[in-house]
């Protein structure tokens, strides 16, 4: 189940709590298999979150990374994120799947990539590479037919 704190906040990432009222769910009919269930019930869940709501919960650097990773899930003028799920016939499980997708996006945004340090090859590795090149060149030259001079 969802991790909840006393004031209706849901943990959506490491150290990130979001108010339950910030997440707006709408439901509609979903396509695909399901027989009459598809035609009668609104099980497709759509989660809409305003960026301002996330700005209060995430550090600025993580929010920027989240907006980059959101891609086509950004809607309007980039002022909200929309996540949909219709993988299940149950409205509740599709709602939980939307929250799980949001969690995955937040966790990915919170993961800072390691900075690359510029390095150069060691003197020994350079020497080994050159020795290998000389050795291969020598082997290939020995395969050639001798030229009469």
Residue 133 confidence (pLDDT): 98
Residue 135 confidence (pLDDT): 97
Provide mean pLDDT across the span 80-87: 87
Classified as helix, coil or strand, 118 is: coil
- In the block, which residue shows the tokens 């108010």? 19
Per-residue confidence band for 77, with pLDDT thresholds at 50, 70 and 90: confident
The token pair that represents 149 in the structure block = 């001079």
Lowest mean pLDDT among 6-10, 74-78, 97-101, 126-130: 6-10
Query: Rounded CA gap, 87 and 68, in Å?
Result: 25
The H-assigned helical ranges of the chain are: 36-40, 51-57, 60-70, 91-110, 123-143
Quick one: how many helices (H) and strands (E) in the chain?
A: 5, 6
46, 26 in Cβ contact below 8 A? yes
Whether 90 maps to a domain, the answer reads: yes
pLDDT top residue among 12 and 36:
12
Whether 149 maps to a domain, the answer reads: no
Provide mean pLDDT across the span 129-149: 91
Going by the DSSP 8-state scheme, the letter that residue 90 receives in this structure is: -
Whether 140 maps to a domain, the answer reads: no
Query: Rounded CA gap, 115 and 91, in Å?
Result: 42
Query: Rounded CA gap, 10 and 18, in Å?
Result: 5
Provide mean pLDDT across the span 5-19: 73
Q: Which residues pair with 10 in a beta bridge?
A: 4, 18
Whether 49 maps to a domain, the answer reads: yes
Residue 7 confidence (pLDDT): 61
State how many domains the chain has.
Answer: 1
17, 9 in Cβ contact below 8 A? yes
Q: Find the CATH number of the domain harbouring 52.
A: 3.30.160.20
**Host domain of residue 13:** 9-110
Going by the DSSP 8-state scheme, the letter that residue 28 receives in this structure is: E
Per-residue confidence band for 17, with pLDDT thresholds at 50, 70 and 90: confident
pTM higher than 0.85 for the full model? no
Evaluate if residue 1 carries a pLDDT over 50. Answer: no
Radius of gyration, CA atoms only, the chain: 28
Whether 70 maps to a domain, the answer reads: yes
């Amino acid at each position: 189940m969802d991790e909840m704190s006393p004031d209706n906040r849901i943990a959506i990432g490491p150290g990130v709590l979001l108010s339950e009222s910030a997440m707006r769910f709408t439901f509609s009919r979903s396509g695909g298999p399901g027989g009459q269930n598809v035609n009668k019930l609104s099980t497709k869940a759509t989660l809409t979150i305003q960026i301002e709501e996330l700005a209060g919960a995430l550090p600025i650097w993580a929010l920027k990374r989240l907006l980059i990773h959101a891609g086509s899930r950004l809607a309007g003028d980039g002022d909200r994120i929309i996540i949909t799920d219709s993988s299940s016939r149950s409205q509740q499980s599709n709602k939980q799947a939307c929250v799980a997708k949001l969690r995955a996006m937040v966790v990915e945004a919170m993961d800072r990539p390691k900075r690359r340090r510029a390095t150069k090859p060691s003197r020994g590795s350079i020497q080994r590479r050159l020795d290998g090149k000389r050795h291969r060149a020598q082997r290939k030259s020995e395969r050639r037919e001798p030229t009469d001079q």
